[in-house]
Amino acid sequence: MSDRRRHGPRGGAPGEKRWFAWLFLAPALVMVLAILVYPLIYSIVRSLFSDTPTGAVKSFVGLHNYHAVFADNRSLQAVKNNVYWIVVVPTLITILGLVFAVLTERIRWSAVFKTVLFMPMAISALASGITFSLIYADQPTRGLGNAIAIGVHDTFSASHPYPSVQPRDTTVFVGSAKTGYTTRQKYSAGTPVLLPLVGLNLTKPPSSTAQAVAPTSGTGVVGVVWNDFRLGGGGQLGAVDTGERGLGGIPVQAIQDGKVVATTTASSNGQFSFSSLTSGSYGLRLPPSAFGQPFNGFSWLGPSLITPAIMSVYLWIYAGFAMVLIAAGMAAIPRDALEAARVDGATEWQVFRRITAPLLTPVLLVVFVTLAINVLKVFDVVYVLQQVAGGSAGVADVLAVTLFRDFGNQQYGLASAIGVLLVVLVVPAMILNIRRFRRDQT
């Protein structure tokens, strides 16, 4: 007793009372063994066995599960995506973080700016994913992304009056909405021309339409372009019936020898006339400007944009995190070195390149490696956004998502193999980080 008292509250010399240290370590140790070491070993073992469809161990298959990860196109896609992530995301975030850190040093209210940038870190990745699933929604009424894209686009180009209208079949017209519709026949003055189309929204017809009227006579080539369908159906095909509406505002072109010789516009009852064309016969054409599909914005979560779109969310979350760490590193750089350089006439760029950057390298590396580890395990953001991506969701698969899915399918062997693979991939980054910590301590 007296002995211990003499040594003071720090306890015995090194080597003494080890059991006491172990006592305090025990709870943590038990936890680590139970939820880290044991599962890791079990996963390695389990990854060597196949499964029955209900998830029981079937037979020893050696490395077959590992082979399956690379043999299957879809999990190979996940491996590739993990590679894209690791190549693109940590670098971009580190650069962005550095830029923000350098810039926030030179502005007023930098604390506010930093707080705002750091805020996404405080939101759970799940919530961020859901927020962005709204931003990326297709309908401009819901999705901010497309609201902006469509707003900008429509400012610079006109919309089309009848995007849904088209010929019923190819008896009268040939062509498509992109090229416009040209009549098969040629027409001359005297007999009124009937140009039937279908597809007008009958429950909410636009104000440019009214009851169609077939012209009976007129000078030159005359006719009617109308929607040959009335609410409730019925009526004769190819004839103007009560309840069918003229497509006012549609431009009509007269064609001779492949050239447009005259242009006119249909009135709201569908009638049009070329009073100057009294002789000769002409083909008629409805140009694409009347039919083109409206610009619907971008398919953010479609097959080509989904992975970059999800990466952007991740960027949004982690850029602030990188900035804060790098800013802290910058604060530790001795001011006098910077000032001395400036006094000596160095430009800001030179100061940054020759002094700030080299002194920051250790911090940048820590940020980069930490992000690399996180990115390798990326799951939540991808998983949440995949839920709203529909059929192209699979394009964005990453290993952690396929692991989760195979686990859900009770393919525990395969899921374990993916898990072990992820651990193996994380290990180099971990070693790098641990060595760095050790070096910093000594």
Partner 1 sequence: MKRRISFTAMVAMTALGVAACGGSSAGNSATGGTPTAGSSSSSMGHFNGASFTILGQWTGAEQQAFQSVLDSFDKATGASGQYSAAAGGDEASVLGAKVNGGNPPDVAFVSLPGALEQYAKAGKLIALNSAAQQAVSSNYSNEWVTLGSYNGKVYGVPFDASNKSTVWYNTKLFSNAGISTPPADWTSFIKDAQTLHDSGVRTPISVGGGDGWTLTDWFENVYLRTAGTDMYDKLTKHQIKWTDPSVTKALTTLKQVWGDRNLVGSPSSALKVPFTGSVDNTFKANATSGIVYEASFVATTITGDKLPAKVGETAKFFPFPAINGSQPTLEAAGDFAVAFSNKPVVQAFLQYVASPEAAKALVSSAGSGFISANKNLQTSAYPDATLGQLAQQLVSVGDNFRFDMSDQEPSAFGGTPNKGEWADLQSFLGNGNVSAAQSKLERDAAAAG
Residues that bind partner 1 (CB under 8 A): 52-56, 68, 72, 74, 138, 164, 168, 198-204, 227, 229, 231-234, 299, 301-302, 383-384, 386-394, 397, 405-406, 408-411
Angstrom distances, CA of residue 395 to CA of 60, 67, 139, 286, 309: 32, 21, 22, 40, 12
Amino acid occupying residue 387: Q
Nearer to partner 1, 106 or 204 (CB): 204
Q: How far apart are CA 70 and CA 67, in angstroms?
A: 6
Give min distance, CB of 198 to partner 1, in A: 4
Instruction: Read off the DSSP letter of residue 43.
Output: H
- Contact assessment for residue 199 and residue 165, using Cβ atoms and an 8 Å cutoff: yes
Give min distance, CB of 36 to partner 1, in A: 21
Nearer to partner 1, 283 or 394 (CB): 394
Give min distance, CB of 294 to partner 1, in A: 12
**86: Cβ contacts below 8 Å, ≥ 6 apart:** 372, 375, 376
Q: Which three-class secondary structure state does DSSP give residue 370?
A: helix
Give min distance, CB of 214 to partner 1, in A: 19
Nearer to partner 1, 192 or 205 (CB): 205
Q: How far apart are CA 312 and CA 164, in angstroms?
A: 35
Nearer to partner 1, 157 or 164 (CB): 164
Nearer to partner 1, 131 or 410 (CB): 410
Nearer to partner 1, 305 or 369 (CB): 305
Closest CA to 44 of 425, 419, 377: 419
Q: How far apart are CA 93 and CA 189, in angstroms?
A: 70
Closest CA to 380 of 358, 404, 356: 404
Residues facing residue 60 across a β-bridge: 49
CB atoms within 10 A of CB 82: 22
Q: How far apart are CA 165 and CA 167, in angstroms?
A: 7
- Contact assessment for residue 222 and residue 192, using Cβ atoms and an 8 Å cutoff: yes
Q: How far apart are CA 206 and CA 428, in angstroms?
A: 65
What token pair was written down for 143? 């999705």
Nearer to partner 1, 373 or 399 (CB): 399
Give min distance, CB of 228 to partner 1, in A: 8
Give min distance, CB of 3 to partner 1, in A: 52
Nearer to partner 1, 164 or 171 (CB): 164
Give min distance, CB of 59 to partner 1, in A: 12
Question: What is the residue-wise DSSP string for 82-123?
Answer: HHHHHHHHHHHHHHHHHHHHHHHHTSTTHHHHHHHHHGGGGS
CB atoms within 10 A of CB 178: 9
Nearer to partner 1, 324 or 384 (CB): 384
Map tokens 């010789």 to a residue: 261
Nearer to partner 1, 301 or 367 (CB): 301
Give min distance, CB of 313 to partner 1, in A: 17
**153: Cβ contacts below 8 Å, ≥ 6 apart:** 295, 297
Give me the long-range contacts of 431-438 (CB less than 8 A, separation at least 24): 432/369, 433/366, 433/369, 433/370, 433/373, 436/362, 436/365, 436/366, 436/369
Nearer to partner 1, 267 or 397 (CB): 397
Nearer to partner 1, 182 or 392 (CB): 392
